[in-house]
A and B are shown apart, each in its own frame.
Chain A
Amino acid sequence: MIPVSYYLMLSAIVFFTGVAGVLIRRNIIAILLSVELMLNATNINFVAFSDHFQDLGGQVFVFFALTVAAAEVAVGLAIIIALHRSKATINVEEFNLLKW
């Protein structure tokens, strides 16, 4: 029986990998992937706790999260295509219009 703290540590490592990716990478697709990593880190948490507390609610939640994530990725990719069309690049530093 693997203790729940192991899962949580894995989840934390995956989550911070995602965070680092979001903060550091310049490629928008990579950033999107990193966001997915963060999302899945939480999914690991949900499943781990669901097993630990013997409550199926956590696993149900993961299905919701996966569905939403799929939709989100679809929207995200669409945005990336739109961005690419406007500036012919997917380097996030080029998109700095959102300021004074």
Chain B
Amino acid sequence: MLYALIPLLPLAAFLVLGLAGSRIKANAHVVAVPAVLLSLVLSLSAFAEVASGSIISVPLYTWFTSGNLDIHFGLYIDRLTAVMLLLVTVVSSLVHIYTIGYMHGEPGYVRFFSYIALFTFSMLMLVLADNLLQLFVFWEAVGLCSYLLIGHWYERASACAAATKAFLVNRVGDFGFMLGLLLVWSSFGSLNYHDVFPAAHESAGQSMNLLGLFGGTWEVPVLTVICLLLFAGAMGKSAQVPLHVWLPDAMEGPTPISALIHAATMVTAGVFLVARLSPLYNLSPTAMNVVALVGASTMVLGATIALTQTDIKRVVAYSTVSQLGYMVMACGLGAYASGMYHLLTHGAFKALLFLGCGSIIIALHHEQDMRHMGGLRDKLPVTYWTFVVGSLALAGFPLTAGFFSKDDLLVSAWSSGSLGQVLTIFGLLTALLTAFYSFRLVFVTFWGPSRVDPHHAPHVHEPSRTITTPLLILAVFSILTGYLGIPAFLEPVFSTQQDSAVHHGGAGLIIMIAATAMGLGGITAAYYVYVLNPDLPDRLAQQWTSLYQGSLNKWYVDQAYDRAFVRPTFTTASALWRRIDVHVIDGAVNGVARAIAWGAWLLRLIQSGQTQHYALAMAMGVLLIVTVFVVF
């Protein structure tokens, strides 16, 4: 029962800050930080208990019972949940501390803390859920927090637009998620993991006719439909192609949010979902292939866009999209443990990179364009060195966490079959791009001559210790998480998966060498292009104009969506407004009013104010009545 406090402490912090925020003001962190730190301590204890082999299950309460639909809230902690708990609480604690320095003196200080506390609560409940509906409720709750926090600076039009975009794009995926839930309920009669998973085997052979409504026949296995629908939700939340467009725009939010929500925790919920539901996905090869292909295309697409972006946060954001692609691909190939492993190491080094970006942004007075940076190496030493560690991990430099997890991921992918081998090739190529763009970021930002606005240049200095301390801790984690044996720790959760023996095969070694070579090659290429020949990028851009423009404009996906969905919606809405609403609806309402006014005007003529007219009407009336009386 003690473990119920893990999510409840951040909730309490949210309530206190939300209700009494106007009195707390600049002391908001005094409430929020201890709550999250305590959560972290409890998570550690839960982790220790789970590591010893037990599974913790804490029923909280019955939400509602209707017929045979019985919805409970409960906590379920196995090894998968335990590592997610640690990831969420650790990154959340560090981001809370970082926020003290980053948001210092902002008018929305209390609001910000209350929202990230609410986010932490929701995310913890999401990973702790013991049934799909609870997962869905908090899935939506983290989406809401994401929306609120992207729009933290709501007076900025771009922030509002980005928040709305994130919300709407996620709606598309969540619609699928909801249909998936309904189908799970109608197929299994329950939404609890411990009811659904054992029953999945029996329904593996069942199929449903998707075209039955239209009189056609298209038999599809029920599990495939369920998995694909639920994966639609995961695609929205984890920014997979084609629903990836919201994540880069979400960088409009304050940087701690980008680190916490849009890099380390919330966006990985989709990967977590697929891993959590692995008993279902394992039974549907079709769905698995779709997951793998979507993941792989996201991985490539994200990396190619990240090559040319100039906003430092956007580079890291597209890198996140690409790395999420890796994880989803791994899950799709059945390598859940590898996917989760990469999720954890990525959580550490990507949070580090984002917080590093935040440190730069603060030091340069909210400058985010890397063309206006350069030469920051000496002025921001702590940020520089931690950023390099993060980038090395991202690039898969040997002996960093990213190196171990990416190798593990690619080797598992290779050993999963022919599709996996093709996708591994793409994975290796993407690793090259990853190393290139991450060190492009390092070299352009920290090396070379300073291009900082001369107005600010003399004042550039390392931000306060609340900002640098989380960077240092995360830098340590970016190395350390590679040595904790996480895949072996997670293996029992996905025990039906392929044995880990293949990891040590000859192919494994070759892939490991290839991946390392790709990483080092990318770093060297970036060094060659951006340090040795600083005018080369422009020449390349001119030589390969169409490619460069495509990447710079994110392969025109936003424009395509704008043409296909946004503008038709606006046009239709505008037409409905100008024609239907103004003319038909307003016309009807105003018409009724006008008809009554006209009728009243006619009736008013009778009332002349001349008493004799009234008397005449009376006399005529009497005459009429008498006539009727006499005649009939």
Contacts and interface: CB of A to CB of B under 8 A. Distances in A.
A23 B616 contact: yes
B62 interface: no
A6 interface: no
A96 B616 contact: no
A99 B619 CA distance: 20
Contact of B612 (A23, A97, A100): A23
B607 interface: yes
Contact of A92 (B604, B610, B616, B619): B610
A44 interface: no
A44 B619 CA distance: 21
Interface residues of A, number: 13
Contact of A99 (B608, B612, B615, B616): B608
B611 interface: yes
Contacts of A23: 612, 615-616, 619
A41 to B, nearest CB: 14
Contacts of B612: 22-24, 31, 92
Contact of B607 (A19, A22, A93, A100): A100
A22 B608 contact: no
A98 interface: yes
Contacts of B616: 23
A53 interface: no
Contacts of B608: 96, 99
A22 B610 contact: no
> What DSSP secondary structure best describes chain B's contact surface?
helix
A95 interface: yes
Given A19-B619, A23-B616, A23-B619, A97 B611 contact: no
A91 B609 CA distance: 14
A31 to B, nearest CB: 8
Interface residues of B, number: 10
Interface in B600-630: 604, 607-612, 615-616, 619
Interface in A47-76: none
B275 to A, nearest CB: 78
Contacts of A98: 609, 611
A92 B616 CA distance: 14
Interface string A11-25: 000000001001110
A31 B611 CA distance: 11
A17 to B, nearest CB: 13
Contacts of A96: 608-610
A100 B604 contact: yes
B609 to A, nearest CB: 3
Contacts of A100: 604, 607
B614 to A, nearest CB: 9
A6 B514 CA distance: 135
Contacts of A19: 619
Nearest to A26: B612
Nearest to A23: B616
A57 to B, nearest CB: 26
Interface string B576-616: 00000000000000000000000000001001111110011
A92 B611 contact: yes
A31 B616 CA distance: 13
A99 B609 CA distance: 5
Specify which of B604, B612, B616, B619 lies most central, judged by the most chain A CB atoms within 10 Å of its CB. B612
Contacts of A22: 612, 615
B611 A95 contact: yes
Contacts of A24: 612
Nearest to A16: B619
Nearest to B604: A100
Interface string A23-52: 110000001000000000000000000000
A97 B619 CA distance: 22
A69 to B, nearest CB: 18
Contacts of B609: 95-99
A33 to B, nearest CB: 15
Interface string B367-378: 000000000000
Contacts of B615: 22-23
Contacts of B604: 99-100
Nearest to A20: B619
B166 to A, nearest CB: 59
27 contacts: A19-B619, A22-B612, A22-B615, A23-B612, A23-B615, A23-B616, A23-B619, A24-B612, A31-B612, A92-B610, A92-B611, A92-B612, A93-B610, A95-B609, A95-B611, A96-B608, A96-B609, A96-B610, A97-B609, A98-B609, A98-B611, A99-B604, A99-B607, A99-B608, A99-B609, A100-B604, A100-B607
Given A23-B616, A98-B609, 15 more contacts: A22-B615, A23-B615, A24-B612, A31-B612, A92-B610, A92-B611, A92-B612, A95-B609, A95-B611, A96-B608, A96-B609, A97-B609, A98-B611, A99-B608, A100-B604
- Nearest first, the 5 A-B pairs at minimum CB distance are A96-B609, A99-B609, A99-B607, A98-B609, A23-B616
